Structure 1
């Protein structure tokens, strides 16, 4: 199998789960802290902290390692991240200032689109870029991860012809509720104009109810297809949601509740019963959505999905049960649900068992290479051009067309085609071929240990910096094979900075299982 456009490197590349023997954790008053790799002179995290941070961030960096160390360990950092409003985020604030049009209303976006001032499709593309930039640079890493998770569960495809005008506001709603309660999040998402337009509820009336949203609410967003609901329950679900409208013919793209469209017949769905006599059915709808959010089947389904995202594709019944129990005991609150997940013994056992999805890989690659992306000034600027790069990688944010969201199981992202495409991206960024405008890359000389040094020492130095851990023996041997050198060969600074030597090392570390897994 050819990799990175250089030479075959099959000894390095595999998507099979990869485990490395961790350094013995150091503790201070019962807290896990960073260890220190004396041979490379680099601070590293203990195995459990490293695993926790890799699962709830876009990827380890030396700066993030320092933050975790300052917090007292991974679990303490995790607690800080659960309160994103208290995390100072200068890089994220700077990125926010680059895209002021994302904060415009649906009406303003429609007016700009009609006046050809700025196409709404361009704004939607910028939402994708802004999202990816925040995943790369924001200090609120856990929030970015959870926004991704909930956006996938409650998917509204980005370039839907009608929903696109409300899609940016929908993102703001998901962000506002990403760490609150699922009850609040579900109520806000299901009644949002973007969801109504995407799944046709905006055109559903008592005379002609549309079942799309009513069905997906049960099948995908809450209890799941095995919960025992019937076709009559789907129809009742659709009738309960009538009244939430968006006028696509109005220049303002006005969203409103229309009491004349709401069906007022009694509703029964699973164990939910409501007389639903009022013309204004919003209170009844809220009761219905709250019931579904708190249903045991929803708890089990969300718990399993969270465990599949953050633990393994086949989580044990024990951890699913523990997470579901915390979810129900805390009134669907998201923070204690996540605490139950990371505190369960099965969580640490999942280290190295999840393949990075393509955009996760892209984000982690930019972070690992230490690329600082600057404010875009033209189409070829990194912040703009990267859209085409990560889109070619196969998973641009929010572009899955179906309501079920991107698949999160490893098998969906472990094909030969996906791996080879990732290799191309790794090579382009590691070699600094494209994109490069309006971006700062570390000087190659700054990536070297004190020289002269052996090839193994140069590889380890960069592995610790990029991966947060020493590369595996297979990875080291594969790089040596790629470069046609012995690991014990002593290199001068000039030899290490040879064009293909340093670039081959960086690209190969990105191609390794330790990077392709999180």
Structure 2
């Protein structure tokens, strides 16, 4: 039963359950500001449609962010020279890219775009950590962000031939004499049709088609196409056949990638990927089939598939079926508590230290070392170790204890709408702000146990709860199943 509140002052506007589901799945955490945006757009579905056109969404929160880590402006030869000269070692460049991503997810009003960019960066995984692909890794992420809501075909063509992907999977040194099969294999197994739909001969022919793309590693880092490297001769990949007679294989590469993007097995794989991320770990096959058909009917366009997904009965019934991964937890916790990082001035600055907070819970942003990308299922993250890491993180942030430098926390006295206030009214107010639900009797009981206060206790600005006990109260909300759920 919801707690009966005594004071209307403690009540903030709430999104309805269906709105909370939609906005929560396509953002990094609902905040009072985001809830107001949803109301201003006329509801969650209208907000979602607005978000599908990110160019229409003003994004002042990102103003100046590109100046925080100026080394990210460099790529290729410049980034490598800075690494060799120890001006900015590769691991620092990588860490700064990860920090930049965290700040985008914390601050951006284009929340859906950031969520989808992250999804595709995992699908087409190139680890941010590691030599030498780091020199083009930010450019790779930017390439994905520009196409995250367009057609999968164009996205596929852009990422498969991108320098960072070519370096990571050794395609940058693949020649007609010695075709490297890494990218050809992952193109089929992970990026498009999936396991069980191709043979070893298909992998070999993919590798042959992709020969010719070159990066001048360790020297100029220039990306080029070398016609003398391209393998020529007839190729067959699944039902795709091509004479592949020209020494310039860029056109046949485009034809092969177009074929794979429109393949029914790829449609199934993309549809399942989206359904697992946004609906459930084991989505109904009927939903996957419908999404796959929309994907094919709409020429691999992503927006129509997302519309069909959120309008489905399966999505609307999926509340509570997805949990946040560790990085999402860190970002959502900062958003819920109103933690603000300012431009970093030293290594200990909050905008830098937040990366170590992610690792304390379990994973770097885009630090997954294998080509298959970060797991999207609950089972990968619903572990005792993850739970303990999250609880430590929540308590640290609730107390404003770390990081301290260039970081702003909401003062305990600022959490109440007014003073004096009954404890049960304060709990309901915080529940509405942090988890966007009315406080239940169970939550009130948990908060009472955490603080030792009774529901009718009168809280003033000089009360011990405000002076020293607020971290125990705040962390209770962050440790609830409602907050762990997306």
Q: CA deviation at 1:203?
A: 1.5
Q: Give the match for residue 205 of structure 1.
A: 175
Q: Give the match for residue 156 of structure 1.
A: 126
Map 1:343-362 to 2 at 5 A.
343-362=311-330
Q: CA deviation at 1:500?
A: 4.8
Map 1:467-482 to 2 at 5 A.
467-482=435-450
Map 1:22-421 to 2 at 5 A.
38=8, 40-227=10-197, 229-250=198-219, 252-421=220-389
Q: Give the match for residue 457 of structure 1.
A: 425
Question: Aligned partners of 1:78, 1:223: CA distance in 2, in Å?
Answer: 29
Give the TM-score taking structure 1 as reference length: 0.90
Find the residue that maps to 1:214 and give its secondary structure. helix
Question: Aligned partners of 1:313, 1:285: CA distance in 2, in Å?
Answer: 34
Question: Aligned partners of 2:218, 2:405: CA distance in 1, in Å?
Answer: 41
Find the residue that maps to 1:184 and give its secondary structure. helix
Asked if the contact 2:451–2:465 (Cα under 8 Å) also holds between the matched residues in 1, the reply is no
Question: Aligned partners of 1:57, 1:210: CA distance in 2, in Å?
Answer: 39
1:491 to 446, 459, 464: 459
Question: Aligned partners of 1:512, 1:432: CA distance in 2, in Å?
Answer: 19
Question: Aligned partners of 1:516, 1:451: CA distance in 2, in Å?
Answer: 30
Question: Aligned partners of 2:269, 2:414: CA distance in 1, in Å?
Answer: 47
Q: CA deviation at 1:121?
A: 2.1
Find the residue that maps to 2:14 and give its secondary structure. strand
Question: Aligned partners of 1:265, 1:459: CA distance in 2, in Å?
Answer: 71
Find the residue that maps to 1:101 and give its secondary structure. helix
Describe the superposition over 1:365-410 as per-residue Cα deviations: whole angstroms up to 9, x where unpaired.
Answer: 0000011211111111110111111122112111000000111100
Asked if the contact 2:396–2:402 (Cα under 8 Å) also holds between the matched residues in 1, the reply is yes
Say which is worse superposed, 360-369 or 98-107, in terms of deviation.
Answer: 98-107
Structure 1 alignment gaps of length 5 or more: 1-19, 22-36
Structure 2 alignment gaps of length 5 or more: none
Give the TM-score taking structure 2 as reference length: 0.96
Find the residue that maps to 1:42 and give its secondary structure. coil
Q: CA deviation at 1:39?
A: 6.7
Residues 496 and 465 (structure 1 numbering): CA distance in 2 closer, same or farther, change over 3 Å?
farther
Q: CA deviation at 1:210?
A: 1.1
Question: Aligned partners of 1:510, 1:496: CA distance in 2, in Å?
Answer: 21
Q: CA deviation at 1:116?
A: 2.5
Q: CA deviation at 1:78?
A: 0.8
1:442 to 410, 425, 429: 410
Question: Aligned partners of 2:367, 2:13: CA distance in 1, in Å?
Answer: 38
Describe the superposition over 1:461-510 as per-residue Cα deviations: whole angstroms up to 9, x where unpaired.
Answer: 11111112224433322222222233333333332634553211111101
Find the residue that maps to 2:462 and give its secondary structure. helix
CA RMSD of aligned residues (A): 1.6
Q: Give the match for residue 9 of structure 1.
A: none
Asked if the contact 1:449–1:457 (Cα under 8 Å) also holds between the matched residues in 2, the reply is no
Asked if the contact 2:412–2:466 (Cα under 8 Å) also holds between the matched residues in 1, the reply is no
Asked if the contact 1:48–1:348 (Cα under 8 Å) also holds between the matched residues in 2, the reply is yes
Asked if the contact 1:308–1:315 (Cα under 8 Å) also holds between the matched residues in 2, the reply is yes
Question: Aligned partners of 2:456, 2:287: CA distance in 1, in Å?
Answer: 45
Extract structure 1 runs of 4+ deviating beyond 4 A: none
Asked if the contact 1:183–1:293 (Cα under 8 Å) also holds between the matched residues in 2, the reply is yes
Residues matched between the structures, number: 482
1:509 has 2:457 as partner: no
Find the residue that maps to 1:45 and give its secondary structure. coil
Describe the superposition over 1:212-269 as per-residue Cα deviations: whole angstroms up to 9, x where unpaired.
Answer: 1111111111111022x1111111111111111112131x211111111111121111
Question: Aligned partners of 1:496, 1:53: CA distance in 2, in Å?
Answer: 36
Describe the superposition over 1:263-282 as per-residue Cα deviations: whole angstroms up to 9, x where unpaired.
Answer: 11211111111111110000
